[in-house]
Amino acid sequence: MFMKTMLRLFILFLIACSPNKEQTKKLPQLAISENKRFLQQENGDSFFWLADTGWLLFAKLDREEAQKYLDDRAQKGFNVIQVMVLHQLELANVYGDSALIGGNISQPNVTEGNAFENPDAYDFWDHMDYIVNLAEARGIYLALVPVWGSNVRQGKVSQEQAGTYAAWLADRYADKSNIIWLNGGDTRGDQNTEIWNTIGQQLRKHAPRQLITFHPFGRTKSSMWFHQADWLDFNMFQSGHRRYDQDDSDLAYGQDNWKYVRDDYALSPVKPTLDGEPSYEGIPQGLHDPAQPYWTANDVRRYAYWSVFAGGCGFTYGHNAVMQMHKPGNPNPAYGVREYWTEALDAPGARQMHYLKDLMLSKPYFERIPDQSLLASEPGVRYDYQAATRGKDYALIYTYNGRDIAVSMGKIDGTKVKSSWFNPRNGERTSIGVFENTGTRNFDPPGVVEDGNDWVLVLESEN
């Protein structure tokens, strides 16, 4: 008890000495756009979901570390963090505070008061409250998984317990405008369906203004089971973490994550969709064997631009070390992790993600549609695949390996078109020229044709 108290007092001292002062900043509530394809803020402003997977944030980071992490992600343009509330039922945070009484999900371990310096008046949920407020002050929304799917699959949670817990959790955070719910958690919706529906229904009942989706098992999508559910506001799929030759799923889309968006885009009723877990930067291809090559920033960018240009309402980035908050002394590091989370914060992919968000928000947002008819030749397969999207007076076409792009002109307004290259690696624009908006025109990206030499061709109307 003495050591826990001293640790908390030390953390309080560090935070008090920090130049960052917390300010109350209630974020706008998120909503579904009028055309049902995108997310927006309640005032009608566009919202591009750019998330990071900080799955173990609540359990493994103390106050100072949580502030460091959220400061970094805000500076890099992330506006959503995906977090597990309960990774395991026998869960305690970095201060030794247990989340549940006896591992019973229907009995949260709540103490009276929230005095951080007093362990007898401070608990797991107070620490979570603190981080929720830290995120809010930095303009970040938290997408919370109430309970990770493995706990349900293992029979540790009954339908009644799930309902009690989900109602309690939703009540606790119903007034927080920076909360989104990720039901499920790396699980299939055709297993324990009644539990997932119960959680979704209780979240909707007790926190009616907060958006809800379902985080599914690898290479599946929420729409396979819950697209018609009243509680599901937008779809999510998990495309990672396998190569084409490693994917033995029923869909067998391999790395073609744009195909999940294509499928969801055709469904009725219309709902937004996004890749909520692609392959992580710094994780082995196939996930479990460190002898395999590791996914890189090149791969992360490909997943991001392919899925967004296919019609996705955003994208979720992940890094192996950050998602598990790996740090010195961790007894069971997973997935061949090679870095600590503090080092991985500045990984190339993490620095590059905001260029995509900035690009999408620089154009009229809600009118955008996927349009492969912009391509005058076959889009290509696997790494040759080119993805095209447009609004009324702009078009964007992505190539992962820098091969030539043949464009059917005349798809956007204007008699002439101004063209430029956008570099996903640094966000820089290079002018190409102005052309007649008719016929077919070939564009040759800078550099040689090789994987990772990715470019976006930007076409803009010019009358």
pLDDT for position 434: 96
Q: Cite the DSSP H helix spans in 141-192.
A: 149-153, 159-173
Angle at 175 between CA 173 and CA 178, to 5 degrees: 75
Residue percentage of the chain with pLDDT more than 70: 95
Is the pLDDT confidence value at 19 over 50? no
Is the pLDDT confidence value at 8 over 90? no
State the average pLDDT over residues 450-456.
98
pLDDT tens-digit map of 80-105: 999 999 999 999 999 999 999 999 99
State the average pLDDT over residues 291-310.
98
pLDDT band at 14; cut points 50, 70, 90: very low
pLDDT for position 160: 98
pLDDT for position 331: 85
pLDDT tens-digit map of 112-154: 999 998 888 899 999 999 999 999 999 999 999 999 999 999 9
Cβ-in-10-Å burial (0-12, 13-18, 19+) of 33 comes to middle
Q: How far apart are CA 50 and CA 8, in angstroms?
A: 32
Query: Model's pTM, two decimal places?
Result: 0.94
- Tokens standing for residue 218: 């690898």
Is the pLDDT confidence value at 16 over 90? no
pLDDT for position 180: 98
Q: Tell me which residue has tokens 């100072």.
A: 64
Mean pLDDT for the chain overall: 94
State the average pLDDT over residues 245-253.
95
pLDDT band at 21; cut points 50, 70, 90: very low
pLDDT for position 13: 47
Closest CA to 313 of 170, 213, 181: 213
Q: How far is CA 433 from the centre of its chain?
A: 36
Q: How far apart are CA 349 and CA 352, in angstroms?
A: 5
pLDDT tens-digit map of 347-406: 999 999 999 999 999 999 999 999 999 999 999 999 999 999 999 999 999 999 999 999
Q: Domains in the chain, please, with CATH?
A: 2-10+24-361 (3.20.20.80), 371-462 (2.60.40)
pLDDT for position 303: 98
State the average pLDDT over residues 325-343.
95
pLDDT band at 1; cut points 50, 70, 90: low
Q: How far apart are CA 50 and CA 317, in angstroms?
A: 7
For residue 26, the 8-state DSSP code is P
Cβ-in-10-Å burial (0-12, 13-18, 19+) of 16 comes to exposed
pLDDT for position 120: 86
pLDDT band at 4; cut points 50, 70, 90: low
- Tokens standing for residue 355: 């260029």
